[in-house]
Amino acid sequence: MFKQHRTFSLIFLLILILNLMVQSAFFEGYSILIKPLICVSLAFYLYRESNMKTGFNRLVFAGLIFSLMGDIMLLYAGSDVYLFLYGLVSFLMAHILYSAAFFRDFKNNPQESKYYGHLMLFLMGVFSMSYYSWIRDYLNDFKIPVLAYIFVISIMAILAAYRYRRVNLLSFRLICFGAIFFVISDSALAFRKFVEPYSFAGILIISTYMIAQFLITIGTIERKVVGKIETEQKV
């Protein structure tokens, strides 16, 4: 599969390396030039390689655009509470758009196996409640926004798992693991922002975030609906 995407994968690996480099103080000033390349490159590649007439692809593309807006706002946020909140809302919208895309696949064949969806529902329920209970006392005025964010990203991961046997296995695996990496990245970000900064936070957050977006994008390009003729072209 990755042979087909070899050139872009190498380009994206270079973007990953550059984003890891700007985590150091020496290259930090270049963040505004380098971080936006993540979603810009993915959005361009998705547009070039996929059928943008389908609702699924358009929703993921829009999610990448909102993610780009979130990246830029968080770059400028610093100690600005409002910019951080706007960035949070942008990523919240991205997750809602991804969730809407994943729900389309579930809706195509709702009677198919729900095993992995139910499993993810249980796992995300346990994780999200435990994690929120752990960091709640550190959130101050952000208790409600963070709770809403945890709820939405949990729904995204759950709906990604409900795609099982409704699309080809490759697309299911890529997007499901992408959603899991997103949960890891955002959890690490929340811990650094609200609980305690830690030395490898930047590397952990950016690497898991980029893997998440990459897997979701490639999973979208590789997607094939199974078991039922897709009807979303009209949407």
- List pLDDT tens digits, range 31-60: 888 999 999 999 999 999 998 989 999 999
Q: What is the mean pLDDT of residues 142-162?
A: 96
Triad 191, 119, 138: Cα angle to 5°: 15
Asked whether residue 233 carries a pLDDT value surpassing 50, the answer given is no
> Is 1 within the bounds of a domain?
no
> What would the mean pLDDT of 215-223 be, rounded to a whole number?
97
Tell me the per-residue pLDDT of 81-133, one tens digit each, with 9 for 90 and over: 888 889 999 999 999 999 999 999 999 999 999 999 999 999 999 999 999 99
Using CB atoms within 10 A of its CB, is residue 60 exposed (0-12), middle (13-18) or buried (19+)? buried
Residue 229's pLDDT is: 53
Record the tokens describing residue 54, joined without a space. 């389908």
In a domain, 47, yes or no: yes
Q: Which domain holds residue 163?
A: 6-234
Q: How far apart are CA 113 and CA 189, in angstroms?
A: 34
pLDDT of residue 3: 80
Residue 235 has pLDDT above 50, yes or no: no
| Domain contains 186 | yes
What pLDDT score does 84 carry? 87
Lowest mean pLDDT among 11-25, 98-112, 154-168: 11-25
Please list, in sequence order, all residues whose beta carbon lies within 8 angstroms of the beta carbon of residue 73, skipping any fewer than 6 positions away: 83, 84, 86, 87, 90
Write the pLDDT tens digit of every residue in 174-215. 999 999 999 999 999 999 999 998 888 889 999 999 999 999
> Cβ neighbours of residue 117 under 8 Å, at least 6 residues apart?
106, 158, 159, 161, 162, 164
Mean pLDDT of 153-157: 98
* In the block, residue with structure tokens 């003729």: 229
User: How many distinct structural domains can be found in the chain?
Assistant: 1
Task: Tell me how crowded residue 110 is: count the other CB atoms within 10 A of its CB.
Answer: 9
Give pLDDT, residue 23. 83
User: How much is the pTM?
Assistant: 0.93
Please give the pLDDT value at position 180: 98
pLDDT at 88: 92
CA distance 206 to 11: 16
Q: What is the mean pLDDT of the chain?
A: 92
Q: Is the pLDDT of residue 218 over 70?
A: yes
Assess if residue 40 is contained within a domain.
yes
Tell me what the mean pLDDT of segment 16-29 comes to: 83
pLDDT confidence band for 227 (50 / 70 / 90): low
